[in-house]
């Protein structure tokens, strides 16, 4: 399984693709020219992913095959699949995802963490530090990016699904604040301070809730930012990465430059 840091020359000739966000409550898919495709929806009772981990590889494989069939058809030798994963996904999760995606038969697979996908969705930055706060259904993540690379990352296994209906989001907000403060204590170069001054980027379903975003802004004492649809920020960011790869793959080679 390749990462963004691998060269892109390998992808020359790829003409199609699929971007996936394998979340804890649902899997979202994005296809060039179509955007987010419907039909994945929320998981049923036998959810294949819990707390950001693949717990039922067989069921997850069938689900991904259905998505790939609908988006790319049965033959996928000319297609690239981009998959986002939790920033601190363990080796077991990454290995399971690698095996499942390879079984779909694409020309290759690119993986990137959810924080970098969110940053890609937000658009080109100035290279300065960026704090991404992703508040999902079963995970809450805080990631400090510097020059596009992960400088620090924290994860709390709590999310919106842990809140009772009508309950204030105290636990979710507290998880965010605890992670940011832990980063602060281990940030000798001041990158986190720079990221806070710019304003944290909020992603995930929690960013749709004013009671969450307002509390975070007040407690941190800084304004917060979000994309136009925070719940789909990660998959749309993965889609932007995919589009860039496909443009590179189909661009004519310059004279004298090897393919």
What CA dihedral angle connects 51, 111, 232 and 239, to 10 degrees? -170
**CA pair distance 16, 104, nearest whole angstrom:** 14
pLDDT digits (tens, 9 = 90+) for 212-254: 999 999 999 999 999 889 999 999 999 999 999 998 876 665 4
Ranges of the chain with pLDDT below 50: 1-3, 5-9, 254, 257-259
Bridge partner residues of 50 (DSSP): 53
What CA dihedral angle connects 12, 14, 15 and 19, to 10 degrees? -120
Q: What is the pLDDT of residue 12?
A: 59
Q: What is the pLDDT of residue 4?
A: 52
Q: What is the pLDDT of residue 135?
A: 95
In terms of Cα–Cα distance, which of 23, 114, 5 is closest to 60? 23
In terms of Cα–Cα distance, which of 193, 105, 207, 107 is closest to 152? 193
Residues 6+ apart with CB under 8 A from 77: 105, 106, 107
**CA pair distance 156, 176, nearest whole angstrom:** 8
Helix (H) or strand (E) segment spanning residue 121: helix 114-122
**CA pair distance 241, 248, nearest whole angstrom:** 11
Helix axes 170-185, 210-220, angle to 10 degrees: 30
**CA pair distance 39, 27, nearest whole angstrom:** 10
- DSSP E strands: which ranges in the chain? 2-3, 16-22, 27-31, 35-37, 49-50, 53-54, 79-85, 108-113, 130-135, 140-146, 149-156, 201-203, 225-226
- Residue tagged 């809450």 (tokens): 140
Q: What is the pLDDT of residue 7?
A: 43
What would the DSSP string read from start to end of 20-73? EEE-SSBEEEEETTTEEESS--B--SS-SEETTEES-HHHHHHHHHHHHHHHH-
Q: For residue 18, how many other CB atoms are within 10 A of its CB?
A: 27
Cβ atoms 257, 21 nearer than 8 A: no
Q: What is the pLDDT of residue 225?
A: 94
| Global confidence as pTM | 0.87
């Amino acid at each position: 399984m390749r990462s963004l840091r691998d060269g892109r020359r390998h992808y020359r000739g790829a003409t199609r693709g699929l971007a996936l966000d394998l979340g804890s409550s649902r899997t979202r898919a994005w296809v060039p020219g179509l955007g987010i495709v419907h039909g994945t929806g929320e998981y049923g009772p036998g959810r294949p992913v819990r707390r950001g981990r693949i717990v039922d590889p067989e069921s997850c494989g069938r689900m991904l095959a259905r998505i790939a069939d609908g988006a790319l058809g049965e033959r996928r030798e000319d297609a690239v699949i981009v998959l986002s994963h939790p920033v601190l996904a363990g080796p077991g999760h990454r290995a399971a995802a690698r095996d499942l995606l390879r079984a779909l038969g694409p020309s290759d697979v690119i993986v990137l963490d959810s924080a970098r996908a969110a940053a890609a969705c937000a658009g080109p930055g100035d290279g300065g530090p960026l704090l991404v706060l992703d508040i999902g259904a079963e995970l809450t993540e805080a990631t400090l990016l510097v020059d596009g690379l992960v400088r620090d990352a924290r994860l709390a296994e709590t999310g919106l699904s842990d809140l009772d209906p009508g309950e204030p989001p105290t636990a979710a907000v507290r998880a965010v604040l605890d992670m940011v403060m832990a980063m602060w204590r281990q940030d000798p170069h001041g990158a986190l301070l720079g990221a806070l001054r710019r304003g944290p980027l909020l992603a995930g379903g929690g960013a749709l809730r004013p009671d969450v975003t307002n509390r975070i802004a007040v407690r941190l004492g800084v304004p917060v930012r979000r994309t136009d649809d925070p719940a789909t920020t990660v998959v749309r960011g993965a889609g932007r990465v995919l589009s860039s790869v496909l443009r590179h793959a189909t661009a004519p080679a310059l004279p004298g430059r090897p393919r």
